[in-house]
Amino acid sequence: MPNRVVITGQGCVSTFGVGVAPFLEAMITGRSGLAPFSDHDGDISFGPISGGPVRDFFPEEWLPKNVKPKHYGLFATFAMVAAQEAVQGAGLQPDDLAARRSGILVGTGASGQETIGIVSRRLYGQKIGRLHPLSIPKIMANSPASGLAALLKISGPVFTINSACASGNHAVGQGYTLIKHGVLDVAVTGGTDANFDFGFLKAWEGLGVLTPDLCRPFSKGRNGMALSEGAGIFVLENLTSAQKRGAPILAEVIGVGYSASGDDLTKPSLAAVEKAMREALDSAGLAAHQVDHINAHGTGTLLNDRIEAEGIQNVFGAHAAKIAISATKALHGHAIGASSALELIAVLLALRTGTIAPTLNFLAADAGSLLDFTPNKAQHRSVQVALSNAFAFGGLNATLALRRYEGTS
């Protein structure tokens, strides 16, 4: 019989600072961490654009003394600090993880962009030919997963998933699957990205999808997404072992749906969006009318939001209007590979307390839409089942299904 899988720990670094507490406070009060800014490098400039970088981040204040943050890229230290919080919240120690069938699965979309920027400026701008000897390890996409393995003394399956903006959901989904089928007892999983490198921002500006002012998911007047960065890391466990050690249980993961459109690198596919949600329902053994809440991918771009809203209406039919939908990127920004991991924290808030984070800056829905996007102010509702959507460039999609845990920890 397949194992039941629960979440016993969560940790994050976000534009609101280090820790789950400031992140949840922002979700509850509707406080955005985004603001317009601009920058320049010599004669080249960008902006204004709206975004949410992580400020005043000092990883050495959060990590053990034997860990050297300077040996890692910023996206790796985001993940390591978030994992420290998640593991401690789960009531585990590295020795506990080393003694169990434990693994690490980390999603990232941008990888070591910050280090690539440093290398490029030093080499091509300053004409300095000698680079830091750890530049390659800092750039490699597996750096966060490898850093977590060293931090947590985990020697089981450790790998990285890179599927752009769906990376976090893909990683959590794979952790769920490995525990469900008995390969692992514990998975430390989530997503991380550090996105505020000048060249990377210029590349996003070139796409023409960044808002200069306010991110307005699903709203009339929306004009683009707001970049951010950070990490969301979780501890997933076999329910039986979690109960045996009296672990705090935040929610149960009950299904995951994957899809790929296989045609366009940037344009979302309605059929693929619908398939990810339908596959999640089928995987969880759910009927459409059982879903109370959806944390939408909701970037604030014209086409993405229209396609996702249409997909929700098609999948859920008449029940779609009864679902509390939240697009939290207007609060914490689009953190690329970390986005769906951060959004999962908001989903856990809804399942545990019934608090649905608001879709901020909402003016009015598109014509014909009957969906409830939780406009501008948090709502309180009974939430037993929730979905979390992540739809990425390249047509790579992942939807998680979760249920409120009613048992005793």
Please write the tens of the pLDDT for every residue from 227-270: 999 999 999 999 999 999 999 999 999 999 999 997 788 889 99
Of 57 and 114, which is predicted with more confidence?
57
Q: At what angle do helices 198-207 and 113-120 cross, to 10 degrees?
A: 110
% of the chain with per-residue pLDDT over 70? 100
Per-residue exposure over 136-161, b if at least 16 CB sit within 10 Å of its own CB, e if not: ebbbbbbbbbbbbbebbebebbbebb
Which of left, alpha, beta for 376 (phi over 0: left; psi -120 to 50: alpha)?
left
Q: Which of 165, 215, 293, 332 is catalytic?
A: 165
List, in order of start, the domains of the chain with CATH numbers: 5-244 (3.40.47.10), 255-403 (3.40.47.10)
Q: Is the per-residue pLDDT at 313 higher than 80?
A: yes
Cis peptide before 94 (omega within 30 of 0): no
Q: Which of 170, 293, 297, 332 is catalytic?
A: 297
Interatomic CA distance for residues 275 and 395, integer angstroms: 12
Interatomic CA distance for residues 227 and 215, integer angstroms: 10
Interatomic CA distance for residues 85 and 241, integer angstroms: 20
What pLDDT shows up at residue 139?
A: 95
Active site residue 297: yes
What does the pLDDT look like over 334-357, one tens digit per residue?
999 999 999 999 999 999 999 999
Given a contact cutoff of 8 angstroms between Cβ atoms, the answer to whether 393 and 164 are in contact is yes
When pLDDT is cut at 50, 70 and 90, the band that residue 408 belongs to is: low
Given a contact cutoff of 8 angstroms between Cβ atoms, the answer to whether 396 and 171 are in contact is no
pTM: 0.97
Q: Is the per-residue pLDDT at 43 higher than 80?
A: no
What does the pLDDT look like over 162-184, one tens digit per residue?
999 999 999 999 999 999 999 99
Q: Which of 170, 293, 332, 334 is catalytic?
A: 334
Interatomic CA distance for residues 141 and 164, integer angstroms: 12
When pLDDT is cut at 50, 70 and 90, the band that residue 378 belongs to is: very high
